[in-house]
C-alpha cells in the first residue's frame, strides 16, 4: 500500500514550558483536501509551521513523500513540494502583482514557471487585470488571492492554507472557496486551516484541533456534520487524540 503524501506521527511542539501540540497524528493523501478547524489558540498555525519547518518540534515524525522533513529549513521543505500560505496577507506592498507572483521558486524551470503563472491567473482572473498594479493598493480579498497564487507558483504537491477566509466578505470567501476546489483539480493536495465553518462547504475530510490535540475526524459531507463540529468546538477538555486518520 502506498504511503500517504504527508504523514505526521506523535507530533509535539513546545514553546518554553507551554505545550502547543501534543501527540498529533494525521495524514494527507495525494490530491486530497483536508479541512482543519479549531478556535484561536488550538494549535492550528503551529501545526502548519511545524510541517513547513518554521518551528522546531519536540517529538514526533513528519514525512513527506515517504521522506523525513524534520529539521529541514523552510526553503528545503518548499523545494520538495510543500507551500505554506500564512495568515496576515504578507504581500510585498510596493511590488507589482506580477513581481509578487514571480518572486519565489528559483529551482523551477522557466517553462514550468510560465505554466504555473497562467494556472494561477486562471484561478483568480481578477489578478490578470491587476498585474502591473502595486499589491499594496489591492483590497484584502485580492491580496489573499495573490498569496494563494504565489503559493501555487512554488509548484507544490501540498498547499498549506492558514486562515484564508479571515476578514473577508462572504462574497469573497465564496470566490476563494471556488479556487480552493479547483486547486484539487490540478492534483494539488490542500490542508486548509480555519475557524470559519464555511470551510465545510468544501468536500473533504474534516479534523478538529482543540487545545493542541486532534479530537474529531469526519467528512464535510457526513449527515449532521455542522452539529458534530459545534459539539467538538465546545469541548473544553479534550481527553484523546484520534490518531492517524484515513
Q: How many residues does the structure list for the chain?
A: 246
- Most confident listed range (57-61, 104-108, 141-145, 173-177): 57-61
pLDDT of 234 higher than 70: no
pLDDT value of residue 88:
63
Domain borders along the chain are 31-45+72-234
Q: State the greatest distance between any 2 C-alpha atoms of the chain, in Å, as a whole number.
A: 52
pLDDT for position 2: 78
User: How do residues 50-108 score in pLDDT, each as one tens digit?
Assistant: 999 999 999 999 999 999 999 999 999 999 999 999 876 678 899 999 999 998 787 89
Q: Options 3.40.50.300, 3.40.640.10, 3.30.465.10, 1.10.10.10; which CATH number does 31-45+72-234 get? A: 3.40.50.300
Amino acid at each position: 500500500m502506498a504511503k500517504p503524501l504527508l504523514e505526521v506521527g506523535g507530533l509535539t511542539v513546545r514553546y518554553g514550558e507551554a505545550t502547543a501540540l501534543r501527540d498529533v497524528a494525521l495524514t494527507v493523501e495525494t490530491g486530497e483536501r483536508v479541512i482543519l478547524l479549531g478556535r484561536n489558540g488550538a494549535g492550528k498555525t503551529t501545526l502548519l509551521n511545524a510541517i513547513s519547518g518554521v518551528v522546531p518540534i519536540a517529538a514526533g515524525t513528519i514525512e513527506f513523500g515517504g521522506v523525513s522533513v524534520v529539521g529541514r529549513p523552510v526553503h528545503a521543505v518548499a523545494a520538495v513540494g510543500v507551500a505554506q500560505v500564512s495568515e496576515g496577507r504578507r504581500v510585498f506592498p510596493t511590488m507589482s502583482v506580477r513581481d509578487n507572483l514571480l518572486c519565489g521558486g528559483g529551482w523551477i524551470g522557466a517553462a514550468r514557471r510560465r505554466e504555473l503563472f497562467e494556472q494561477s491567473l486562471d484561478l483568480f482572473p481578477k489578478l490578470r487585470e491587476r498585474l502591473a498594479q502595486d499589491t499594496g493598493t489591492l483590497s484584502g480579498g485580492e491580496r489573499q488571492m495573490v498569496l494563494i497564487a504565489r503559493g501555487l507558483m512554488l509548484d507544490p504537491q501540498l498547499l498549506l492554507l492558514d486562515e484564508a477566509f479571515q476578514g473577508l466578505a462572504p462574497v469573497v470567501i465564496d470566490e476563494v472557496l471556488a479556487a480552493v476546489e479547483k486547486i484539487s483539480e490540478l492534483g494539488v493536495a490542500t490542508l486548509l486551516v480555519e475557524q470559519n465553518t464555511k470551510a465545510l462547504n468544501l468536500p473533504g475530510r474534516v479534523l478538529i484541533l482543540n487545545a493542541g490535540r486532534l479530537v474529531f475526524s469526519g467528512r464535510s459531507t457526513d449527515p449532521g456534520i455542522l452539529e458534530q463540529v459545534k459539539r467538538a468546538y465546545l469541548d473544553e477538555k479534550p481527553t484523546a487524540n484520534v490518531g492517524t486518520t484515513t
